[in-house]
Structure 1
Amino acid sequence: MEDNFELVYVYAGHGKNGAVFEEIPAQFIKANQYKILKSPGLVQNLAKGDVIEITGKAEHPIVISRGGNFCIQMYFPTKIDLNKLSLDIKLKLDGTLDSANEDVCSFSIPSSNGMNKINQYFNELKDETQAEWYYANIYKNIDNPSDETLLNWWNE
């Protein structure tokens, strides 16, 4: 991670008690614009390397540019060896384990791997661990989980 960073509060959605935010390490670019330094574990539509604009309101940030990474969020029902997993992700996908909080992990995986290779890796991991996983930054309508319209930024 970059030495020059700050924690920014990024809107993740609404919960029972109102707006929910996630603290994400980012590099300041200019007023309200930041480069994300780690893929989030809760916020949708962002990954490491993306440049965003935060409006300061309880609304999703605006993505100015994509950093070329998929954000994979994964939920593990049992404890796993995070050091082994982190090394495996690095060696097989040139990715990083960006956060781990109890049973939730987020990963940054370069889109250059291609979705077939990424799907195969994470589906095999799911078979081994019974973990659930998904791409957190590929869907157009992040407020409607049943809408699977893709952004296709990785094909541009």
Structure 2
Amino acid sequence: MLIEVFAGTSDENPVFEELPARQLDTETYELLSSPGLALNMARGDVISIEDRNTHAVVLERGGNFCIHIYADHIPAEDIAGLESDVGCDLGGTLDGVFQGNLSLAVPAGNGMDKINEFFDRFRDRTGIQWYYANIYQNLDDDDDETLLNWWLED
């Protein structure tokens, strides 16, 4: 099934992203794909959507980092190479492609150092920046870089 998750606002109006999910309860879902717009979620997370006009609440982490890559254009061969390399080197998946925007799920068990090195090589080769999308506490303040540290918990 597809669900709509709150991704932010544009001109004071809410913006939603459709994501594949498995319904667990009335307002509870397991994400089957990492979002490309919405923050603080990744494939495998269990979320609650009580108020559709605000950020979903993550009830349980699925163990994946969500990586966002935004560009005006990414050549198809770079996308295919990244998808293959993410799968082989990190056990991750390319979950979404929309024009030059990509969302990926990468198991946190790889460790941030290995993930950073991998995506920094992609950036150095292509000139395209990448971002962690589910590591910050304050989703509404781009300047607040307080980490959630969910990947450090046992």
TM-score with structure 1 length normalisation?
Answer: 0.94
Matched, 1:141 2:138: yes
Structure 1 unpaired stretches of 5+:
1-5
- Residue 71 of structure 1 corresponds to 66
> Is the alpha carbon distance of 1:114 and 1:86 closer, same or farther for their aligned partners in structure 2, counting shifts above 3 Å?
same
1:77 deviation in Å?
Answer: 4.0
1:113 maps to 2:110: yes
Q: Which runs of 5+ in 2 are unaligned?
A: none
Give the SS at the match of 1:11.
strand
Structure 2 counterpart of 1:108, which letter?
A
Q: Counterpart amino acid of 1:90?
A: G
Per-residue CA shift, 1:104-153, capped at 9, x if unaligned?
Answer: 00000000000000000101100111111110000000110100000000
- Determine what percentage of the aligned residue pairs are the same residue: 46
Structure 2 partner of 1:104? 101
Q: Indicate conservation of the 8 Å contact 1:76/1:130, yes or no.
A: no
CA–CA distance in structure 1, aligned partners of residues 51 and 135 of structure 2: 24
- 1:144-155 counterparts in 2 under 5 A? 144-155=141-152
Look up the match of 1:3: none
1:83: Cα distance to partner? 2.3
Whole-angstrom distance in 2 between the partners of 1:83 and 1:41: 17
Letter in 2 for 1:97: L
On the 8 A contact 1:71/1:106 being kept in 2, the answer is yes
RMSD: 1.0
Poorly superposed stretches of 4+, deviation over 3 Å: none
Say whether residues 1:10 and 2:16 are aligned partners: no
Q: Does 1:124 align with 2:121?
A: yes
Aligned residues: 151
Would you say 1:20 and 2:30 are equivalent positions?
Answer: no
